[in-house]
Every structure is written in structure tokens, then in C-alpha cells.
Structure 1
Amino acid sequence: MSNAVFKQIWIVSGVLLTMVEVGTFLGFTTCLLPALKDPDSPIKATLEESSWIAASFSLAWIPGFLSSSYYMDRFGRKMGFILDIIPGALGLIVMYFSTNVACLLAARVLQGITAGSTTILGAIVIGEYSSPVHRGMFLNLKTAALYVGSTLVHILGHYFHWRTVAAITLIPYLLAFAMVCTWPESPSWLASNKRFDRSRTVFYRLRGKTEQSEKELTEMIEAQQERQPTEELSAYQKLAHFCQKFGKRDFVMPVLNYLFAAILLETTGRHIFPAYAVQIISEISGNSGSIYYTFALDVIVAVSATFSSYLIKIMKRRTLLFTTGFAAVVVLKAACGYLYLASKDLIPNAPRVPLSLFALYFAIVNFACAPIPLALVGEIFPLEHRAAGTTIAGILISVTSIVTLKTTPFLLETFKVYGTFTILGIVMAISLVFLYFMLPETKDRTLQEIEYFFNHGRFREDETRNRKGDQELVQMIP
């Protein structure tokens, strides 16, 4: 392993440890909400309050995205990530000492700020610090780390009180904080601030000196040299400048792609399952050994998300996304159909059948449909629009997550598990269709090549190939 690759792994490891912590935040309600229903619990919560404890986490992503966007542009990726980590640590401390629902809501909001900001900025960090050949694998490992964290909190929640779980899960934070403090600044951020000499030094330290890396660095620096230096703007001018972005193709097209990617991400059940795993599995299994089924699904999801990091290294993004996506929809419909027929006593009710189908569904969907939308944040937004684009992407994720988390308790109560996932499956299929016609292939592409695609609607070599074809055709005409 080269020294450059080791440095990339070290930086990515800091992001992954933070994502493990975010995964514990996502799954924390699985041990918290059932405990609040206990008659002996010192803190009582109604169904409405419980739904807000779950949804407030996603609502807080919006200020997290906004603050992260400002930090990453103003202070750089390294300092921005450090500042993003702090609210989550405070949230765990508030959670540990909570005495009422208001304290729990405050803790979840603080955790949500960190979850939103680090999830988005983590993708940017991986995209800018790692080479194109490793970028897809590293970005996918973010999702695997989330599920490892979710699995961890489910296990800890089974054996320990939720206050103890809050204290234990502070450990990954301390390790991640120490690792982030050792990072160099992003070469992309340095170049965007016209610090080209420093950018070259850091870039070669991270990537080594190869023909491919020199080409990528040259294209990045040339693109930033062509940009006019931005003057200090008033608040009104900043708003006007932001609104003008919606008239630029290289901003609008990535945003449209991410709109459907965010919908796809949420309708896979990525946030619903960690938050309501026990309730979902209990309904399907009739409470018999539901916690063990939950653990089994956790392991399946974590393993499949990890294995997808290998698949995405050897397969094209689009091929993997749409093959597994539509296959997952079919499996999900089969599981929901079985549960519906069993509920009407039209077929025998054997819980192992739908549980096996759901396990297969979550395994398939985590090969691509959950990891790739998160990975896209670090790939599709041009450097000029990266802060604004990731803010929009974060808001889209937050809004779709709030809607799903807030409505899930009522959907489960009204339509049961089969009705809830039938609705999600339909929306998921629609999102896949839109992405099929809009999303470019990003495998092994540099960020500059992807930026060129969104500016011109095709990759540079495709344009060159078409131009040569036109010239040959003209030459053939007598």
C-alpha cells in the first residue's frame, strides 16, 4: 500500500467513525421510545411526543446543513468538520442528564445538527481527498458505517439503559475528533481560495505524483484560475447571487438529480427501519423473538452495505443502482403481498416468510439504493456550487426524512407494515425511473469531468467522439 493511499484511508477513517456515531443517533429511538412507554419510566411521552422525538432529529438537519455549508466555505473542510462534531457530543451529554421530554427533544436536535452536517460534509471530504479509483468505495463505506452504528445501538439498548448507551456512544466521537485534528486542508478548498502552491503540495501528498493525478490537479487549478475572485457581498447580494444559481445548468441539473436521489434514499426505509425496527419486526413476528430478528436484520444490512463497497468498485454505478433497485421493489411487493394475504386469512401466517423477504429486500437495497444517493453528494456538485448544492441536497434529505419519520407511526397504525411499505415501494419505483433518464455514470470519473458533464450534457470524450464522427461524415459527402 502506497503512502498516499494510507493517508487517504486515515482521513476517510475519521469520517467513518463519525458516521458510526450518526448511525447510533439514527437507531437511538429504538431503545429510547419503548423505555418511555414503561409505566415505571420517570419520563412519560405520548404518541405525538414520541413521534416528535423521532422527527426532531431530522428537522435539525436543516440548521446543520446551513451551518456546515458556511463553515466549509469560510473555514475549510477540516475546521468545518471539527465544528460540526461538537453539537452531537453536547447532545449525548444532554441526553444522559435529561429529566423530561423537552430535554430529550433538545438532545435529539443537537444530535440531528451533527448528523446532517457531518453526513453531507463527510461526503465532500471523501470526494475531495480521495482518488477517483477509490472514491466510490470510500463513499459507500459511509453507509456501511451508519448501519454498524445502528446495529451497535440496538445491541447496547438491549442490555443497557438508554442513559448508559448515550454515555458509551460518546467514545467514537472522541476518537473521530482526535483523527480529524490531524487532517491537512482540502486541496480543492485551497485551490478555490487561490492558494495554488499549498493546494499542489497537499494534493501530491494525498494522491502521489502520477500522470492521472497531475492531469486532475492541472484541470482543477485551471478551472479555479478562470473564476473571478469574489468580492465581499452584503446579505442581499448573497441572496441574489444564490438565486442566480438556479439559472445555471451545472447547478440545476445536479439539484434535480438529487431531488429524486433523496426521495429514493428515504423510501428505501433507511431511516425508518433503524428508528422503528422493533415495532416493525414485532408486528410481523407477533413479538416472538422480535429483538433477535432485529439483530439479524441489522447484521444483514451492515454486511450488504459493506459488500456494496466492493461491488461499486467493480461495477458501474448506474448498472448497480437500477439492477438492484428494481429487484428490491419486486421483493418488497412480494413481502407486502404476503403480509396482506395472511392478514385476510387467505394464506397461512408464517412469520419467517415475510421476515426472510424483508431481510432479502434490505440486503438488496443496501447494495446501491441507500449508499449511492449519499455518495452522489460528494460527486455531482461543481466546486463553484459545492456549498450551495450540498445545502440544497441536505435540505432535501431533511425534508423527506422528516416526512417519513413523522408519518411512519401513523402509517403503521393505520395501514400496518404491508400498507406502509407498499406506499414506499411505489414512490421508490417512480424515483428510480426519473434517475434512469437523468443520472450520469460517475465511476472512475474525476470531479472535474463530472462538472463538465453537467455544464454540457455530455462528457468531454463523448463530445470529441461526436465531433470526429461529424467531420468524417462531412468528408464522406461528395
Structure 2
Amino acid sequence: MASPLARQIWTVSGVFTNMLVQGMVLSFPSCLLPGLRETDSPIKADLATASWLASSVGLSSMLGFLISSYLMDRCGRRISHLLVILPGISAWLFIYFAHNVLTLMLGRILAGITAGATVTLGAIVIGEYTSPEYRGMFLNLKSASVCLGNMVVHILHNFFNWKTIAIFGLIPQIFAFLIIYTWPESPAWLASKGQFQKAKETFFWLRGSSEREKLELSELFKKQEASLLKFGVESTLMNSLKVILKKFTRKDFIKPITIIVFTGILSEACGRHFFPAYATQIIDDITGDKTQSFYYTLSIDLIIISSIILSSILVKVINLRTLLFTTGVPALAVLTSVCVYLLLTFLDVISKERQWIPLSMIVIFFILVNLCCTPIPYLILGEILPLSHRSIGSSLSGLILSLFLMIALKITPYLLENINVHGTFTVYGGFVAVSLLLLYFMLPETKNKTLVEIEDYFNNGKYHSYDETDKDIKRRMLI
């Protein structure tokens, strides 16, 4: 019989496979845009059109977040995930058969819907389906899967055109759909709908039935019973609107959303999305040697993936806050050094021949930021939103993260063209500095904390230590 850990791994493998595809979606402009600019390309695109093809994913992902928010509350995590993958499957087909910019744009928009919908769903599934001691590792590996997708596109671009790469994107998207089809429903969602017996069976199937798991399940049931008594399972549209508006007055909603805002800014400014999309152009500008850009880009991709995998190990042994600031502050210092060096070469103060110097510093920068800074919003998204706010909170968080993604992908080509690489990195470095400073005062430690404990923290400002001798808890542990 499979162990609970094996069952959790199988479940999250569906998320990982889908996230690999989303990495391919995000880095697809790195092969699409150069292909459209070739003299023999049947489809032509100027800079403005190209920037919209790249950034349209961020815009349409906002719709994806809204759709997933509604579906995950109404239909559950499993059915929602299956439904929102369908636009992604259609997207690759539209791109492959495209003969004009309009069809390409439609494909990118559909891909963005799936990307937006599944990024929050994936984080919430990992948060609800996995044990606290593995949750951070799985959430980090989710980010590693995105980076692996980036690298896959960069490798394929060296051998195939963008149409063929679209078929390579379709295959894992279908595999993700098939894996997700085998999932059980989320115990947390079942409990929120009053299906406590089914929630108990699924929870024990996923997590085992040790005393610790029984204690966590009893706390989950206690909170959901209170919520159902207060709000009921169903409510009218007017009552739903009142509940949503009231959330903006609650500390356990406002605080997590504010943290997600600044972790999202930090992640984008550290190059989570703009670098894979424009990696070839950035490396070309730094080295001035287009013949070697593929190897430089591939090397950095490997370093990024290795860093995130290492991060998945480090979050098991190091506190999240410690990891963030001990890597983020040195990364900011390295980025500042890169900007100064590139500026001096641009002004011909120092020679441009030592290309290995800025490239080495960029490698160090990406090692550091991918240990925590770039994956952090997607890591904490599955942890810090209380169950009662998870639907609306994930939707709002998704809209915010999509907006940041769209802005980064939209403005980066203009920044690169007008203020060069050193100016672009300087702009993003400023956002990194501000975000790290604010998160120092706002971000709590979540390592090895249950979702119920984290929820209590945002209400009370401290973690509550559950007394296992409590009579009510003892009674609930017998369920």
C-alpha cells in the first residue's frame, strides 16, 4: 500500500507538470518574437505588437484568476483544475495552426487564462493536500517546475521553430489533465461544505491518521463548523457581496494580501518572468555575441533550476524569513554591482572585452534570488490565506500578481531599448530594495506551522500553542 507521502507526491505531480507548461508559456516569447522578425516569416510583428504578444498572458491571466476563484469555491479544487486546463490545451493548438497575429494573440490569451487560473489553484492544492513539513518543499518545487519549463523552451528554440515548440507544450498539458483526473477532492473544501465524513476519509488517505493529523483535522472541523453556523453553506448574492466587502475590514485578510503584494513585486523585480521571456536579448546586449547566447542562456537556466531545487531543501532546515533576507540582501548588492559595471562599460570607462565579469555577477544574482526571492509569493500563497478567505483572497492575489506580470513583460522591451540593460536592472533593483525593507517588518515565519496556526497568527499577532490535553480536542481526536 502506498504511503501518505507517496500519495501526496502523486497529487502534486499534476501541479508540477502543469507548472512546467506554464513556464513554457512564459518563456515562449523568447522563440516566438525572434521568429516573427525573421525576413521569411509568414507572420510579421513590430515592437508594439511583439510586446503585446508577450504581455497578453499577464492580462488574460487576470481572467483566469477570477474564473478559478469562482470555480474552486463552487466546484472544488479537482474539477476546477480540470476545467481551467482546457483553455491551455486549446491555446497550443491555436498557436500551432496560426497564420496571422490575431490567431497567435488568441492562443496567448487562452494560455494566460490557464496560467493565471492554475498558479493559485496549484498553490492552494499543495497547501491543502500536503503535510506542513513537506509543504514548503513542494511549493518551492512548483517554482522549479516553472523554471524547468523556461529552460525547455530555450533548448527547443535551438533546434525547432516556434510552431513545433507549440506541440511540445501541448503534450505535458494533456498529461497534467490526466493526473489531476485521478485526484481526490480537497479535505479542506469538503469540510467547508459540511461534508465532514468524506473530508475525514480523504484527509487520512492523504496524510495518514497519526495523533498529530487527528489534532489538525479536529481544529479544521472546529473552525468550519463555526463558519457554517454563522454563514451557512449557501447564501444569496447580496449576502455574498456583503461578506466579500466585510473581508476588507479584517486583519486576517488585509495582512496576507499586503504581504502577497510586496512579495509579488519582489519576485517580478528579481526577474522571475521578464528574464526568461527576454533572456536571449539581455545576454546578447551584455556579451555582444549572438552566436554564444544560447549556451549562456542555457547555463543560467540550469543555475536557476538548481538554485530553486536547493531552496526546496533549505526551506526544510532554515526558517523562511532567514532564508529570504540572507539571500535577498546580498542579491541586491550583486545587482547593484552589475548595474555599475555595465554602466561603466556603456560609457567606455572600462573595457567591454571582459564579458565574463558581468555574466558571473548575473549568475551569482540568479543563484541568490532563486533561493527565496523569486518563488516566495507562490510559496506563501498556499499558506497564508485563511480557508474562509481562500477563494476571494486567491482571486485578488492572482489579479495583483497578473498585473505585475503584465507590467514586467510589457515594459521590459521598452526599457531595454531606451535605457539598455544597466538601466533596466537599476529600475528593477529599486523595487527589490523597497520590497525587502517592507517585508522585513511584515512577513511572519510559517515554517512547520499548520494552516490553522497561520490563520490564528493573522488574527492575534502571535502563534497559538494548542494544548493537546484540552477536553474538546481530545474528544475530536476520536473522530
Using structure 1 for the length normalisation, give the TM-score.
0.95
In the alignment, residue 243 of structure 1 is paired with which amino acid?
A: L
Which amino acid counterpart does residue 209 of structure 1 have in structure 2?
A: S
Amino acid at match of 1:324: T
Matched, 1:198 2:201: no
Secondary structure of the residue that 1:60 maps to in structure 2?
Answer: helix
1:57 corresponds to: 57
CA distance in 1, matches of 2:32, 2:260: 32
Match of 2:254 among 252, 255, 259: 252
Partner of 1:10: 10
Partner of 1:263: 265
Paired position in structure 2 for 1:421: 425
Could you tell me how far apart the structure 2 residues matched to 1:334 and 1:298 are?
21
Task: Report the Cα offset of residue 236 of structure 1.
Answer: 4.2
Q: Does 1:395 align with 2:396?
A: no
Give the letter aligned to residue 137 of structure 1: M
Which amino acid in the other structure matches residue 4 of structure 1?
P
Q: Which residue of 2 aligns with 1:280?
A: 282
Contact 2:248 2:254 in 1 (8 A): yes
Structure 2 residue 450 is matched with structure 1 residue 446: yes
User: Could you say if the C-alpha distance between residues 34 and 87 of structure 1 is closer, same or farther in structure 2, counting changes exceeding 3 Å?
Assistant: same
Q: Secondary structure at the match of 1:159?
A: coil
Q: Does 1:342 align with 2:336?
A: no
Offset of 1:237 from its aligned partner? 3.8
In structure 1, what is the equivalent of residue 386 of structure 2? 382
1:301-340 → structure 2 map (5 Å cutoff): 301-340=304-343
Deviations, residues 45-71 of structure 1 (Å, cap 9, x unaligned): 010000000110110111100000011
1:128-139 equivalent positions in 2, closer than 5 A: 128-139=128-139
Q: How far off its partner does 1:235 sit?
A: 3.9
Distance 1:126 1:70 in 2: 19
Q: Does 1:359 align with 2:367?
A: no
**Separation of aligned partners in 1, 2:236 and 2:29:** 42
Q: Distance in 2 between matches of 1:21 and 1:273?
A: 17
Task: Name the counterpart of 2:91.
Answer: 91
Shift of 1:432: 0.9
Q: Which runs of 5+ in 2 are unaligned?
A: 468-479
Question: Counterpart amino acid of 1:370?
Answer: T
Given the alignment of the two structures, is residue 296 of structure 1 paired with residue 299 of structure 2, yes or no? Answer: yes
Where does residue 475 of structure 2 map in the other structure?
none
Q: Identify the residue that residue 470 of structure 2 maps to in structure 1.
A: none
Query: What amino acid is the match of 1:353?
Result: I
The Cα shift of 1:456 comes to 0.8
Give the Å deviation of 1:343: 1.0
Q: Is the 8 A contact 2:192 2:233 kept in 1?
A: no
Q: Counterparts of 2:235 and 2:209 in 1: how far apart (Å)?
A: 38
What is the distance in 2 between the residues matched to 1:388 and 1:457? 22
Shift of 1:174: 1.6
Which of the residues 461, 464, 479 maps onto 1:460?
Answer: 464
State the distance in 2 between where 1:43 and 1:240 align: 49
Aligned to 2:105: 105
**Residue 476 (structure 1) aligns with:** none
Equivalents in 2 of 1:461, 1:414: separation in Å?
55
CA distance in 2, matches of 1:392, 1:428: 22
2:40 and 2:174 map into 1 onto residues whose CA distance is 33
Q: Deviations over 1:209-233 (max 9, x none)?
A: 1121111101000010111243644
- Counterpart AA for 1:334: S
CA distance in 1, matches of 2:104, 2:447: 42
> For 1:45 and 1:348, how far apart are their aligned partners in 2?
35
* Counterpart for residue 470 of structure 1: none
> How many correspondences in the alignment?
463
CA contact (8 A) 2:193 2:233 kept: no
Aligned to 1:149: 149
Instruction: Give distance in 1, aligned partners of 2:278 and 2:315.
Output: 29
- Matched residue, 2:31: 31
Q: Residue 408 in 1 paired to residue 439 in 2?
A: no
Quote the Cα distance in structure 2 between the aligned partners of 1:341 and 1:118: 43
CA contact (8 A) 2:125 2:186 kept: yes
Looking at structure 2, the residues matched to 406 and 137 of structure 1 have their Cα atoms a distance apart, in angstroms, of 31
Q: Secondary structure at the match of 2:248?
A: helix
1:241 and 2:243 correspond: yes
2:471 corresponding residue in structure 1: none
Question: CA RMSD of the aligned region, Å?
Answer: 1.4
Determine the structure 2 residue equivalent to 1:220. Answer: 220
Contact 2:140 2:308 in 1 (8 A): yes
Q: Deviations over 1:85-111 (max 9, x none)?
A: 111110000000111111111100000
TM-score normalised by the chain length of structure 2: 0.95
Task: Give a deviation string over 1:19-38, Cα, whole Å, max 9, x none.
Answer: 00000001100000001111
CA displacement at 1:234 relative to structure 2: 4.4
Distance (whole Å) between structure 1 residues aligned to residue 34 and residue 381 of structure 2: 34
Q: How does 1:115-134 map to 2 (within 5 A)?
A: 115-134=115-134
- Determine what percentage of the aligned residue pairs are the same residue: 47
Once the two structures are TM-superposed, the CA of residue 2 in structure 1 deviates from its matched residue by 6.3
Contact 2:194–2:233 (CA under 8 A) maintained in structure 1: no
Distance in 2 (alpha carbons) for counterparts of 1:231 and 1:279 = 52
- Could you say what secondary structure the match of 1:247 adopts? coil
> What secondary structure sits across from 2:158 in the alignment?
helix
Show CA shifts across 1:312-338 (max 9, x none): 111100000111111111111111111
